[in-house]
Structure 1
Amino acid sequence: MADSALSRRTFLTRSGLLGCSLAASPLITPVSLAAAPWDQRLVVIILRGGMDGLDAIRPYGDVNFAGLRPGLVRQAGQPGQEAEVGLDLDGFFAMHPDLAGVMPLWQQGELAFVQAVSTPYRDRRSHFDGQDLLEAGTMGLGERRDGWLNRLLQLHSGVAARTAFAIGHGDLQLLHGAAPVSDWSPDADLALSPQAERLAGVMMQDDPLFSAALSEALALSRVDAEQVTTGAGSAAQPQGMPGMPPGKAHLNLAEFAAKQLRGDTRIASFSLNGWDTHSQQKRGLGAALKRLSGCILALKQGVGPLIWDKTAIVAMTEFGRTVRENGTGGTDHGTGGAMVLAGGAIRGGRVYGRWPGLEEAALYNRRDLMPTGDVRAVSAWIMRGLTGTGQTDLEQQVFPGLQMGQDPGFLR
């Protein structure tokens, strides 16, 4: 039996199975397709780099906004310039023009924003520390090594590896922890011939652990090929797949997430880069917002109307950016920022949060948007409504030290 086990493990190593993106979970956790303990879906998107919430969701109704952003956003009434405040939402906030693709969701009440929010992170403004704290969900750095989404899963029975997916090339601390989680990367292609697959099956048939792992790995590695042949997203022009034009890979993540959410998966998470806009922000932020918009729309199309109605998408970033533009047409690392909420389960068509104002005395350190809300509280109330997790568990276990306050009513 020892020789047999060694042979199976040698095969896994040499064939690349142990080195693929699934190694973090399915290869050490037998895969079960048991029903998850709740039916709603949650997608968490990490916007890495510090999204400028004041540009994405522009507070043009604040009398101080025009003077702080003279180059980034043209204001009505300036001589020789037409208004360029974006897509009006409520008479005070306007959406960045490059989010126009999701304007129908706003009009249908399936898109919302939360302004002036942040994690507890302050002052140092490091991407690495800010993202670590965002994904750990704690009051300070180094308090926990697991992620808040995994801690949520640990509170529920019936959770299996396919209940939650960490998707993409990068490491998602958000889902690290004791609860079983599946991982998938767009290049998780085992490239085994039919003969090699049969040989692997024979070698592992007496070992439930590795037999389940092989089945899971092969199933996930076939996703790309299956979507190419079936034309997922568009029969004539599959989106986000190998061979697509550059700049469309983000759709691959969204389409894979949607496919899993149609089945047993209840939580999916991935990250989008490109939000660090120190210079030429008009170009950089616009491209990033188009990618985010495309992912949201791909998720809606991919899950279908029945699943979409019970789906909540939460997009968050490690910190906001300075209220004043800098000398290179960009903004620097700040504090208060914005979150994007979407999905049929979201009570949309509104901008949530308490607006602190942009007068200098109201700014954090006289340079940043003052946070009046916590991204963890937003996430906690959404998870409370989707999963039925108790408020005490959310405040003490999922987000230690959090005070959720009153329910803002993010969900329908």
Structure 2
Amino acid sequence: MSLSRRDVLIRSLALGCSAAAAPLVTPVALANAPWEGRLVVIILRGALDGLDAIRPHGDADFAALRPTLGGGDDPSGLDLDGFFTLHPGFESLHPLWQAGEFGAVHAVSTPYRDKRSHFDGQDILEAGLPGLGGGGLRDGWLNRMLQLRGGLEPEIAYAIGRERMLVLSGLAETARWSPEADLAVSAQARQLLNIVHHDDPLFRDASADAIEIAASLELEAERAEQTGAMMQADPMMAGVAVNTTHVQLADFAASRLRGDTRIASFSINGWDTHSQQDQGLRRRGGMLSDTILALRAGLGDVWGRTAVLCLTEFGRTAAENGSGGTDHGTGGAMLFAGGALRGGQVLGDWPGLAEADLYDRRDLMPTRDLRAHAAWVMAQMIGLNRDELEQVIFPGLEMGARPGLLL
């Protein structure tokens, strides 16, 4: 069996990685590009309940549907605009709302309908397609955007960790990283590799590449220290648990986005709240809040050119169930943040929660394609035209009118 230089490099890296990097790691995928705007896409796996995260207290039917989950006489939550309130789990993002740097889009979904499978829903979300047919799951919508622009310099190509980010997978090369990776190569090890592989071009070149990657990771460690100092100096980071995995992901993403990187994507799991939803949403809401605050602190001045889109595969049922939770639904909410976006608002055409207004008489009715909001962000930040967005990046999409998401 013949091995390519890339095969040898990948196997060498696999041997050099920490064993903890393989099983339950969420990688970060990044790509650099010549435009100035930064786009961060966070996949909320498990189906965020948008009706609980951004509660429509102004809808007369909400209280009866949610007698315990933020409805009824529940006084918890923070007022946003007189109609919507914010779940207390996201409380630390309220100052960003007031600063116009955090908001939401309600009553949105992908084209996925009725089967409500997490796996299918996430595939459609990340592929950006209207359905699962046609064999179109080979790449994700962010990768197709990179393919359109062509000639973009990727980060050094390496992948560590089990979970695959379909949204950035495809023909365009991107970098991947996970916080548990340990590819440090000491000076003695470098000298030994040079001696052992000196007379074998295949292994010599692979070793050289491995050493180059290790050196780049040492540089990343220095950048991470700079990001950490910026985080400590930000008063909004006072309550953030900085040693958690999700904050490490944000830390690394911010360190790259301050440089040449323009796109980062990662996921936060655990949003499937069939029971005891209030507790679960408090925990996950705190994680997402810490992640966004860490991005803001780590990006510094670059935050003003950054858009963060938090996307989930589908919403949850309008009515709570008997276990203090909700089940798989259809319409939901997209959360967003960043200095490049017009926060302090809940966008969307509200359909109402009367039984006749619900999708299949059980779910929040989607009134706009979730993909349209991502498309408008890409159109305005990256300069993509409508044909590219509606025919290549998001096939079958009708973008509709500009939603007023960007400043």
Matched, 1:174 2:172: no
Q: Aligned partners of 2:57, 2:160: CA distance in 1, in Å? A: 36
Amino acid at match of 2:112: Y
2:14 maps to what in 1? 16
Question: Are the counterparts in 2 of residues 71 and 329 from structure 1 also a CA contact under 8 Å?
Answer: yes
Matched, 1:373 2:364: no
Q: Aligned partners of 1:262, 1:94: CA distance in 2, in Å? A: 33
Deviation at 1:169, TM superposition (A): 5.3
Deviation at 1:159, TM superposition (A): 1.2
Question: Are the counterparts in 2 of residues 168 and 253 from structure 1 also a CA contact under 8 Å?
Answer: no
Match of 1:129 among 102, 116, 120: 120
Q: Against the structure 1 CA distance between its residues 47 and 115, is the aligned structure 2 distance closer, same or farther, given a 3 Å change threshold?
A: same
Match of 1:297 among 286, 290, 293: 293
Q: Deviations over 1:286-328 (max 9, x none)?
A: 10011001000000000102x0000000001000000000000
TM-score by length of 1: 0.85
TM-score by length of 2: 0.86
Please list, as runs of the form range in 1=range in 2, the aligned pairs for 1:99-118 lying within 5 A after superposition: 99-118=90-109
Amino acid at match of 1:271: S
Q: Aligned partners of 1:314, 1:84: CA distance in 2, in Å? A: 28
SS at match of 2:114: coil
Amino acid at match of 1:380: A
Deviation at 1:16, TM superposition (A): 2.8
Deviation at 1:157, TM superposition (A): 3.4
Amino acid at match of 2:43: I
Question: Are the counterparts in 2 of residues 166 and 181 from structure 1 also a CA contact under 8 Å?
Answer: no
Matched, 1:93 2:89: no
Q: Deviations over 1:77-104 (max 9, x none)?
A: xxxxxx5251111110011111111111
Please list, as runs of the form range in 1=range in 2, the aligned pairs for 1:128-147 lying within 5 A after superposition: 128-143=119-134, 144=136, 145-147=138-140
Match of 2:53 among 33, 53, 56: 56
Match of 1:358 among 353, 356, 360: 353
1:215 maps to what in 2? 212
Deviation at 1:357, TM superposition (A): 0.2
1:26 maps to what in 2? none
SS at match of 1:365: coil
Match of 2:65 among 44, 64, 68: 68
- Over the matched positions of the two proteins, sequence identity in percent amounts to 54
Q: Against the structure 1 CA distance between its residues 10 and 48, is the aligned structure 2 distance closer, same or farther, given a 3 Å change threshold?
A: closer
2:25 maps to what in 1? none
Deviation at 1:274, TM superposition (A): 1.1
Matched, 1:310 2:308: no
Deviation at 1:155, TM superposition (A): 1.1
Question: Are the counterparts in 1 of residues 45 and 271 from structure 2 also a CA contact under 8 Å?
Answer: yes
1:39 maps to what in 2? 36
Q: Which runs of 5+ in 1 are unaligned?
A: 23-30, 77-82
Deviation at 1:75, TM superposition (A): 3.5
2:255 maps to what in 1? 259
Amino acid at match of 2:85: A
Deviation at 1:381, TM superposition (A): 0.3
Question: Are the counterparts in 1 of residues 275 and 323 from structure 2 also a CA contact under 8 Å?
Answer: yes
Q: Aligned partners of 2:45, 2:348: CA distance in 1, in Å? A: 22
Question: Are the counterparts in 1 of residues 156 and 213 from structure 2 also a CA contact under 8 Å?
Answer: no
Question: Are the counterparts in 1 of residues 106 and 349 from structure 2 also a CA contact under 8 Å?
Answer: yes
Q: Against the structure 1 CA distance between its residues 378 and 314, is the aligned structure 2 distance closer, same or farther, given a 3 Å change threshold?
A: same
Question: Are the counterparts in 1 of residues 46 and 118 from structure 2 also a CA contact under 8 Å?
Answer: yes
Q: Deviations over 1:116-170 (max 9, x none)?
A: 0000100000000000000000011143110000001111134121299999752
Q: Against the structure 1 CA distance between its residues 411 and 231, is the aligned structure 2 distance closer, same or farther, given a 3 Å change threshold?
A: closer
Deviation at 1:391, TM superposition (A): 1.0
SS at match of 1:162: coil
Amino acid at match of 2:329: G
Query: Please, which moves more after superposition, 217-226 or 87-96?
Result: 217-226
Q: Against the structure 1 CA distance between its residues 409 and 197, is the aligned structure 2 distance closer, same or farther, given a 3 Å change threshold?
A: farther
SS at match of 1:16: helix
Q: Aligned partners of 1:283, 1:55: CA distance in 2, in Å? A: 12
The alignment of Structure 1 onto Structure 2 pairs a total of residues equal to 387
Deviation at 1:107, TM superposition (A): 0.7
Q: Against the structure 1 CA distance between its residues 345 and 286, is the aligned structure 2 distance closer, same or farther, given a 3 Å change threshold?
A: same
Q: Deviations over 1:216-271 (max 9, x none)?
A: 35423774587479855339999877xx4xxx211010000000001110000000
